[in-house]
Amino acid sequence: NLEVEGRDLEGVYYAMEYLTQQNRVNSGHKVNPSERITAQGKRVIILGGGDTGSDCLGTAHRQGAEIVHQLELLPEPPNERSDGDMWPNWPMTLRTSSSHEEGGVRDYNILTKKFSGEEGKLGKLHGVRLEWGPPDNTGRPSMVEVKGSEFEIDVDLVLLAMGFLHPEQTGMIADLKVDLDGRGNVKTDDNKMTNIPGVFAAGDMSRGQSLVVWAIAEGREAARGVDEFLMGVTSLPRSASTY
């Protein structure tokens, strides 16, 4: 979620609400007009530069959006893979999908500060440009707002496609008092057990946003850890991801 002022205005939606509804429409399902999320004739802003944001961009074009901006918090990636960004890491390069080829405005180093509007309806996005400084205590580059770079964009529809940051830290995680790592994910040992004996975590819960293949591998590793915890020994093989 994006916890800023104006998040609850009519016109701000999660990307998955938007995309799944359009999939249902494409399959012939009827949607109550009062619940329809459409970009037709609207000024659209997509927050997030990944694949989900690209899907939103293409869908908005096909629905007949007036104009679409896609804003990204991070810097614009390079066109070519750097020497330090080697396989098997995912290449950190600028990707242009067929959706981008259809149009739209892409912008980078943008932090959304708030939304505003009248009578409960979205009307503007308020943002500021960023510079990236030395790593902070989490090891990530520090985020610095550029003084005097504040701006506003008129908008009718905002789609939140920022991706998964870390698991919700309320509810069960808070109640159990499990340890978290520097990125806000659940911290585990090599057997995928948390600091609470008998409580295990895997996939996005402990790794952060990643691929389903990692979730499958870590799920198997967690199953091995559970077996060993309950039985004292295990005959289950370790996941190849740990070799």
pLDDT tens for each residue of 22-56 = 999 999 999 999 999 999 999 999 999 888 899 99
pLDDT at 227: 97
Q: Are residues 143 and 47 in the same domain?
A: yes
pTM beyond cutoff 0.75: no
Mean pLDDT of 155-177: 87
Q: Are residues 125 and 56 in the same domain?
A: yes
pLDDT tens string 71-95? 999 887 766 777 776 666 666 666 7
Clarify whether residues 186 and 210 are in a common domain.
yes
pLDDT of residue 72: 93
Q: Residues 30, 106: one domain?
A: yes
pLDDT at 243 over 50: no
Could you tell me the residue range of the domain that residue 176 belongs to?
Answer: 172-233
Beta carbons of 205 and 215 less than 8 angstroms apart: no
146 and 188 share one domain:
no
Query: Do 41 and 138 sit in the same domain of this protein?
Result: yes
Question: Does residue 25 sit in the same domain as residue 132?
Answer: yes
**CATH code of 229's domain:** 3.50.50.60
Higher-pLDDT residue of 102, 86: 102
Does 176 map to a domain? yes
pLDDT of 93 reads 65
- Which one of 133, 160, 187 terminates a domain? 160
The answer on 203 and 105 residing in a single domain is: no
Does 240 reside within a domain?
no
Q: What does pLDDT average to over the chain?
A: 89
- Is 4 part of any domain? no
Same domain for 151 and 52, yes or no, is yes
Given 140, 160, 180, which residue is the final one in a domain?
160
- Asked if residue 154 and residue 94 are part of one domain, the reply reads yes
Are residues 205 and 152 part of one domain?
no
Number of CB atoms found within 10 A of residue 223's CB: 16
**Which residue has 């943008």 as its token pair?**
110
Query: Are 126 and 18 in the same domain?
Result: yes
Residue 6 belongs to a domain: no
Q: From the CB of residue 188, how many other CB atoms can be counted at a distance below 10 Å?
A: 24
Q: How many domains does the chain have?
A: 2
Asked if residue 106 belongs to a domain, the reply is yes
Alpha-carbon distance 217 to 222, whole Å?
9
Of 128, 160, 192, which residue sits at a domain end? 160
Assigned domain for 177 exists: yes
Q: Which residue has the tokens 């944001």?
A: 53
